[in-house]
A and B are shown apart, each in its own frame.
Chain A
Amino acid sequence: MHCEAKPVIDYYRLKKSQVEHGFDLYHSDHMLCIISGIGKTAVAAACAWVAALYREQTSLAWFNIGIAGAADAPIGTAFWVNKITDYESKRSYYPVPLIETSLKPVHCMTLNQASSEYLPQLLFDMEASAFFVTATRFSSAELVQCVKIVSDNLTQQTGLDKSRISQLIAQNIESLAEISESLQALDKLVSANKIDDSDWQKFVQRAHFSQTQKSQLRKSIQFLMSQDYDTEKLTREISGCLSSKAIIAHLKQLCLQASQNL
């Protein structure tokens, strides 16, 4: 919901995209905030839509922020979700405990319909399972995390009071930012050895490469770039090679030189 996203949009000073209209999308250079709407279908569609839109990215990290109901947790408490159970399918999913957070871990049950029948030790929401299942189709599970903030419990209901919901999210913004940074750090590790699409094009346009050759080319470039080479230096290295075969052979030779002493 927009009221859940508003504190995040304000905190990161995200700008609304005027180009994309499938879902409301806010962005900065390295961050997107998509407002999916309520429910499993909406969140699955939103994830798939973003993944398709940003398919050229070397890696995507995903963070689901939303409200949830609980039996006894105080209103406004934020939890990091370490187990998600889909009530309808009875399947469970386990976000990988790799991020740095001071938030308490919790088991979240995702339902198709809102419910006020709460169980102790459990949070109830309407998106987490579909979010996790869909996002892990596009990214590794370590890069897919959920935080839920208690908006309703057995004694107090925030219901659809939008300004109150925004307030509950806003009061946890530092914890959310901490997880966001941790996720971005993991994402950097995943992206570290991947080749930028623009760099890749510089190499692949130099000759006609078969699919197997492209795979060999990518492997060699990735390794050499992790050593002492950058795009410019590598481009110079292969400037005299007249065919895809010659390029691959030359890069292979460089790899051997760089790897023979481990």
Chain B
Amino acid sequence: MPAGQPEPLSMVSCVYIETGVCHHQRTRDISKRMKNTPVVEIGHYGEVFNPRAQNFRLQKLNSALIIAGKQNRRVLPVPVGYGLGGRHNYYFSHMLNCMYDCRYCFLQGMYSSAHQVIFVNYEDFAADISNIAAHHGTDPVWFFSGYDCDSLAYEPVTHFAQFFVPIFAQIDNAWLELRTKSTQVRQLLRLKPCERVITAFSFTDQHSHNKLEKGVPSIGKRITAMQSLIDSGWPVGLRFDPIIYHDNYRQEFAHLLETIFATIDAEKLHSVSLGAFRLPKSHFKQISKLYPDEPLFSQNLVLSKGIVSYPLDQEQELIDYCHQQLLQFISPEIYHPCISTF
């Protein structure tokens, strides 16, 4: 599929709509795209999303869509270690959950439901972002949008970037990271590029992609999407997080970099980050229960300071190797290690 073409949206089994946003224009627009899908009115998205007696793995077989309004805690400080070196870092989520099914993803352990939630009150998010940016004067403030979801994967339905990029373009000290595994860049290509909006593409090596990333577009298609953004003057970034250990990770990672940099000019990159596979203890416990058959969770993993990850020496070897390989292509100034503790 050429870059920018809409990816086929996985069919949702049902659309739940909060009574409070039933008549919202964005709700109507989204509903139009789901014409033959049953609609159920709900009081609050938590009634469907939060009950504990749900099986994320089963729901992933055919998840539903929940359209809701986010009434509070819309923009939050990022977890410790998350970010690109800026002093002021926040995240916000116009969606919860993701259309892709990546086995390493912490969302599987964070939420009991695999349904995807879309918060349609973008204007309230925008007001909060504007207030926070103003609170920091002229200091640069980073806003990360891909923490609880993929920023762009659902763009044809949500028009998230279409709404928020012009908002960020108007706030001189606000920076936005769109983090994605999708090729949904068509809306961005229609907009005027903004140097403070970074589209960061996540990659794992081909072997990990084949084994662990269900529904994610191929590496080649994502590189093409990335290049089309560069060609149009958009800043882009690379995210190698998580790096997964396997027998052949060295050759696979080196090959991934060769593939990317055969197309992408490293000079044009805004930032690159990498981090080893890691999960908070509680999320790991939950996810490994859901997927007892998954080799990733039977690897040599240890618990340290509440985080389950590879033993320190193995993690160090993994990061050192990948870092060294990266530095053959990129300048150290744009490299940022991922040390987020969630």
Which residues of A are interface residues toward B (Cβ below 8 A)?
A: 82-83, 92-94, 96-98, 105, 107, 136-137, 139-142, 186, 189-190, 192-193, 219-220, 222-223, 226-227, 255-256, 258-262
| Chain A residues near B317 (CB-CB < 8 A) | none
B244 at the interface (CB under 8 A from A): yes
B14 x A97 contact (CB < 8 A): yes
Distance in Å from the Cβ of A180 to the closest Cβ of chain B?
A: 17
Interface of B is mostly: loop
Which residue from A92, A96, A136, A255 sits with its C-beta under 8 Å from B43? A92
Complex: how many Å from CA A114 to CA B13? 32
Taking a contact as CB atoms under 8 Å apart, the answer to whether A226 and B58 are in contact is: no
Total A-B residue pairs with C-beta atoms closer than 8 Å? 99
Q: Which residues of A contact B59 (CB under 8 A)?
A: 96, 98, 142
| Min distance, Cβ A257 to any Cβ of chain B, angstroms | 10
Interface residues of B (CB under 8 A from A): 13-14, 16, 38, 40, 42-43, 47-48, 51, 53-55, 57-59, 61-62, 64, 207-208, 211-212, 244-248, 288, 292-300
Q: Which of B16, B54, B245, B247 contacts A142 (CB 8 A)?
A: B54
Give A75 to B249 CA distance when docked, in angstroms: 63
* Structural contact, A107 and B62, CB atoms closer than 8 A: no
Residues of A within 8 A of B207 (CB): 262
Cross-interface CB contact of B40 among A107, A193, A222, cutoff 8 Å: A107
A83 vs B61: C-alpha distance when bound (angstroms): 20
Report the Cα distance A258→B296, complex, angstroms. 10
Name the residue of chain A whose CB is nearest to the CB of B289.
Answer: A219
User: Are B58 and A98 within 8 A (Cβ)?
Assistant: yes
Q: How far is the CA of A94 from the CA of B49 in the complex (A)?
A: 10
What are 20 pairs between A and B in contact, CB < 8 Å?
A: A82-B38, A82-B40, A83-B40, A94-B16, A97-B62, A98-B59, A105-B40, A140-B54, A140-B58, A142-B58, A189-B58, A190-B55, A190-B58, A193-B293, A219-B288, A222-B292, A222-B293, A223-B293, A226-B293, A256-B299
Whether B292 and A223, one on each chain, are in contact in the complex, defined by CB atoms closer than 8 angstroms, is: yes
Bound state CA distance, A136 and B54, in angstroms?
A: 9
B296 contacts which of A97, A141, A193, A262 (Cβ < 8 Å)? Answer: A262
